[in-house]
Structure 1
Amino acid sequence: MTPDLDRAIRAAKAAGDLLLDHWQQRETLVIDQKRPGDFVSAADRGAEMLLREALIRYGDGWLGEETEAIDAPRRWIVDPLDGTTNFLRGIGQWAVSVALEQNGRRVLGVVHDPLRSETFAAARGMGATLNGQPLRLPPCPPAGGALWGTGLPFGGMAHIDDHADDLRRILPRSAGIRRLGAAALDLCYVAAGRLDGFWERSLRPWDIAAGLVICAEAGIRTEGWTPEDRPEESGNVIAARPELFQDFAGTIRA
């Protein structure tokens, strides 16, 4: 394990402990609405400040959901609470997401799920792990037996009609679709074989930075809406195990 990865894991777990304290008292949290369907609370802000103080060192940059960005060749990309709406509603699907980017390339990712005590982690060239054990994909499901994950637009966002078309094409050829509400965990679930693939449009960098590194190191193929489209830049993500990617991506892009 690299020193940076160790530091990221420690910081993500510390932020997770803070969030668990808020989880027990979430009914008292003051909630602000950034835009329709998009919320923030003292839990998000407190976790981000903890992560910022723990991670920024010696001129590092920063890109977080709730605080001012700092440009630098070496930059931390952080979502302090991915799945805020789930958290605030008492739905136990949320996580802390931390990634490190160096000269435009994401080199490590950590996604920590405090409620399940699960920590997904990866560094480029070193593989992906869950709680320190290597991730291994289970056998590929039979044709028509794949389980997909996605995220649905909310609050007047664009692409509602596009996503309805996606569902119409994919549902008849699958074992089902899950909308779990935390993209960082969705990508980790693909890396762990709990989902066979995931797609979503217009995600933000902090939603996917860590999950994309973990997927890559677990052998998951990821692209955008064309093979040349980089999800890191566009926020459009199609991810699936290699045996299923071509057919899955072709269906999404049809």
Structure 2
Amino acid sequence: MDMERIKRVGIAAACSGGKVLQEHFGKLRSVRKKGAIDLVSEADIRSEAAIIDTIAEAFPDHAILAEESGTHAGSGGRWIIDPLDGTTNFTHNLPLFCVSIAFAVDDRVLAGFVLAPLLGELFVGVKDQGAQLNGRPIFVSNTPELADSLLVTGFPYDHQTIFEPLIRRFGRCLAATQGVRRLGSAALDLCYVASGRFDGFWEQHLKAWDTAAGFLVATEAGARTTVFSGAPYAVDEDEIVSTNGFIHDELLNLLE
């Protein structure tokens, strides 16, 4: 597998999607609901199309799993795409959103690309090659104790179905740390753990396109990533915990 080519195409695809998002930011004409609070806009659709076109031109045989258009059959590798992670932020003109693209072989994530176009930040992780932000190496924080940590979490679109345990976990983590933030993009949350801005992140009821790219970036930056039970994270899991490693077990105890 030519990972340098995968990296070039992944970055190009992220930039293609990011350009579309920049062009549409603050200018949306239509937004529809996939669920009660789950939104999709023309920016999602057009960003995804631009990303897929870029990838298909370079790797026409590869499979694709994309949030809006679903599964595209193929072989030799699979691209996992969220064309706009943080759609609710985007539709409210908040710049905290991103393009998230992962490349996997046999469900093993080998590369991740997360671009926040309005923030000018491109996070890249390649298996066994480390993680970078705008070309510079990044690493998780060295905060040793949960009490000194800053965490980030997210609330799923179907949060009403798990409202009580969701709030209990949030409350325990808020009481035990320096604070908990909620930004609205799981991919960025994971990249912010990777770059040491947050010490840990947890969320549940997620999809592969929400977490695959950020997971690889965080892992390559030194993060420990599991599910709530402590078992290893995999792309088909719907929950994730990612930390600097030092606070991981303490955080898992709060999430029981």
Same fold (TM over 0.5): yes
User: Among residues 109, 112, 118, which one is paired with 2:115 in the alignment?
Assistant: 112
On the 8 A contact 2:225/2:232 being kept in 1, the answer is no
The residue aligned with 1:14 is: 16
What's the CA shift for 1:81?
0.3
Quick one: which amino acid aligns to residue 194 of structure 2? Answer: A
Aligned counterparts of 1:196 and 1:94: Cα–Cα separation in 2:
20
What's the CA shift for 1:31?
0.8
Q: Does 1:182 align with 2:185?
A: yes
Number of aligned residues = 251
% same residue: 33
Q: Where does structure 1 lack aligned partners over 5 or more consecutive residues?
A: none
Aligned counterparts of 1:24 and 1:30: Cα–Cα separation in 2:
12
Q: Does 1:58 align with 2:78?
A: no
CA-based RMSD of the aligned residues comes to 1.5
Q: Kindly provide the CA deviation profile for residues 209-238 of structure 1, in whole angstroms up to 9, marking residues without a partner as x.
A: 100100110110010122235342222001
Q: Which moved more, 1:135-144 or 1:109-118?
A: 135-144
Q: Which moved more, 1:233-242 or 1:126-135?
A: 233-242
Q: TM-score, normalised by structure 1?
A: 0.94
What's the CA shift for 1:72?
3.5
On the 8 A contact 2:144/2:247 being kept in 1, the answer is no
List aligned pairs for 1:1-254, cutoff 5 A.
2-26=4-28, 29-56=29-56, 57-73=59-75, 74-140=77-143, 144-154=147-157, 157-228=160-231, 230-253=233-256
Quick one: which amino acid aligns to residue 53 of structure 1? Answer: D
Aligned counterparts of 1:229 and 1:134: Cα–Cα separation in 2:
25
Q: Secondary structure at the match of 1:215?
A: helix
Aligned counterparts of 2:16 and 2:122: Cα–Cα separation in 1:
12
Aligned counterparts of 1:231 and 1:184: Cα–Cα separation in 2:
15
On the 8 A contact 2:194/2:222 being kept in 1, the answer is yes
Q: Kindly provide the CA deviation profile for residues 102-134 of structure 1, in whole angstroms up to 9, marking residues without a partner as x.
A: 122111000000011100001101000000110
On the 8 A contact 1:153/1:159 being kept in 2, the answer is no
Q: Which moved more, 1:206-215 or 1:146-155?
A: 146-155
Q: TM-score, normalised by structure 2?
A: 0.93
Q: Secondary structure at the match of 1:159?
A: helix
Q: Secondary structure at the match of 1:180?
A: coil
Q: Where does structure 2 lack aligned partners over 5 or more consecutive residues?
A: none
